[in-house]
Structure 1
């Protein structure tokens, strides 16, 4: 929420049109910030924590996730670990997750009689149960759900989508307000001290210049998870093949069940259908041990999850989504013959799917390892500084007993071009467009109220 200072006004060309345009942009920058900045703070804090999800979960849940590897020992059979998990927590085993490192535990997901799911952690060398949590019950899953506001229902998740769209408006209008117009300070340097308002104005402007582009990047790459836009684009991007490119599956019966229903998967495969095993097969099921062995022979990255079939037509599905995008893979095995029915990797995604998956991987802090995590952590800190400095700057600037909304331009026609650009953005992002209409109505009512009081 930049400030229309006397210095800024004096730096503008002496034409009413330029001054009015500046005021119009400033007004909408203020409105965008009013809506976005609270989300920017919460998203930055939860997102900064989630960047280090493996490290934090490894510390908080060390008793469940880490084991001591005996010298010369080999992991026991997956079926034995599943049996141990079921003995401790009765139900139906629906997923087995292979240890990602030699000192990590295995995870068995059990569907309980009441319909819930429990994640049971098992020592892969001794076959002993270490303990259990609710499925996706780790600290970092909680942080992830707070980040997406999933705990607060679809309306709250829709607000996240709107905030992402308005964040782009915030950056674009902020760049216009920052653009040097003859002023000598506050462009790339910070003047004065925290006691002065100009310090907070400069801190806000310079921080916005540094992190603005990354805010746009995070907003765009976070959109695939959004409720309306993400869902529609996912269906459009995957088309009638539901995520599978032409030629990957030929004459394979599909169940109609989506891969996303089985658990976390990549964005590009959320609409992917799961194939079926032929019921006329004479062979007995291959069993979990052979399925896990087959996935290992096929070269799936360590830490892959195996969905266990619970019906006669079900398949063994091995999936893994490591930091290395090229190692993303989903393989469906016939539960009787053990033959791969579908083998899908990142290289098989379409151009849009590959681009979006790369953006998501960077967004999650995975693509470039620790450097990616630390860089995005710095961006998250910058976002908080940006939001806090905006609030302090507004508080110091606002008139007594006034909300401090930037003044209207004298010539209202300057709003036309700005609103036209906002409408284009609203068409691309429907929820943002709906919020634009609400914001316009509120601004109109606020202006009328002020004029009536002044009269």
Structure 2
């Protein structure tokens, strides 16, 4: 969606090969923008908001999320909170989420017979129920669901991979179009500065190009670190990173009997542990063995030193386990512990330090992508990048609108020498092999471009 003017050789002959290549790149930059920009606007807005979830959540729903801190008061036993939650919302308790801060409420997740899972919020100091919502029904969870495209059905995760791959193509072709060919030293107009006024197309071209220059690296980073959530690529890389170690990173001790249940079924977890299997509690043999109970399980978990804000999934079968997990901003504090429900013995105890190199790299990327790894600076930098992405998309739309011929889509013209497409398509094909869904969308786009070009020629001939 960028334009430039190519120079001529000394004898006045146009630099045709370079010009043809430029037109080919420009055409595919246009197509990439056509596919990706609507997604980029949505992802930038929802992602930018979700960066500040820890701040916005209690502000948006203070009646459920915030409690008054009583000086010297200690939290009531968790079993008392569960009793109060079940009186308000009858069902089966499946999870308890510890308050991360002293002024935060506790969350009791209850599976009901007719309303699905409900999150019941309880004042940890008085045991009073503050209210309930559908599980993951807060405003910030809604924004996260929009960001991940889960609202649009089970196949929507595939769009993440397609959008991510095409956004990388968008950046690569955009840098080629931006490159200051034939400029003399000191000519910064349209390269790092803006020319003209908002009434002119030149202004929007420069705004688009300069913004893209500064935000391009962030787009590539966000696209790559968002890929683990994609349908095909993310699932295959997860299998590769964790091998056949019951879904756990290589090196983690899992020499205990495992069930078919997955950690992701108990609640939100890290990407590396989505497919991790839950161990089995040793079923009672002979004499009756009573479960240790939730209060004892909480005491063991806290004795092991888990970061505040952990979630404890409760066993729902005779062989189930207590699964404690916490994923704070600091990666080194991530931890998952499974306890035998009868003895309280830790069956699996793992942290970020136990991940393999691939798992560590991917989790670092995801944590940084979510604005967690480097505190407020991480959030502010990514928020600025999200704002710049919106500017990039809006400037592209305005520039296209001002440039397009009346009654036409305004697709950049084909190069006269079609051979220049060969190298470009070869590069695109490599990306398509690495990201299969991107490759499939590339083939479809090539077919549509070819069919559209032939149809246009026939119409002109007629």
The answer to whether 1:266 aligns with 2:263 is no
2:326 to 320, 323, 342: 320
C-alpha displacement of 1:115: 6.5
C-alpha displacement of 1:157: 3.0
Runs of 4+ in 1 over 6 A off after TM superposition: none
The answer to whether 1:9 aligns with 2:6 is yes
Deviations 1:67-89 (A, max 9, x none): 11111100010111011100110
Q: 1:115 to 1:256 in 2, by over 3 A?
A: farther
Write 1 or 2 for the structure with the bigger share of helix.
1
The CA distance in 2 between the partners of 1:205 and 1:376, in whole Å, is 19
The CA distance in 2 between the partners of 1:245 and 1:113, in whole Å, is 36
- Aligned equivalent of 2:238: 234
C-alpha displacement of 1:239: 0.9
The answer to whether 1:376 aligns with 2:382 is yes
Q: 1:125 to 1:212 in 2, by over 3 A?
A: same
Matched positions, count: 452
C-alpha displacement of 1:14: 3.7
Q: What is the DSSP-based 3-state SS (H/G/I as helix, E as strand, rest coil) of the residue aligned with 1:417?
A: helix
- Aligned equivalent of 1:108: 108
- Aligned equivalent of 1:363: 369
The CA distance in 2 between the partners of 1:402 and 1:99, in whole Å, is 57
Report matched runs for 1:301-450 at 5 Å: 301-450=307-456
Farther off after superposition, 234-243 or 198-207: 234-243
C-alpha displacement of 1:109: 0.2
Q: What is the DSSP-based 3-state SS (H/G/I as helix, E as strand, rest coil) of the residue aligned with 2:420?
A: helix
C-alpha displacement of 1:46: 0.7
Q: 1:154 to 1:250 in 2, by over 3 A?
A: closer
The CA distance in 1 between the partners of 2:8 and 2:229, in whole Å, is 43
- Aligned equivalent of 2:35: 35
C-alpha displacement of 1:246: 4.7
C-alpha displacement of 1:167: 0.2
Gaps spanning 5+ residues in structure 2: where?
A: none
Question: Could you state the TM-score of these two structures normalised by the residue count of structure 2?
Answer: 0.95
The CA distance in 2 between the partners of 1:188 and 1:221, in whole Å, is 28
Deviations 1:84-106 (A, max 9, x none): 10011000000001110111110
- Aligned equivalent of 2:223: 219
Q: Is the 8 A contact 2:252 2:355 kept in 1?
A: no
Q: Is the 8 A contact 1:242 1:269 kept in 2?
A: no
The CA distance in 2 between the partners of 1:68 and 1:437, in whole Å, is 59
The CA distance in 1 between the partners of 2:155 and 2:396, in whole Å, is 26
Q: Is the 8 A contact 1:244 1:344 kept in 2?
A: no
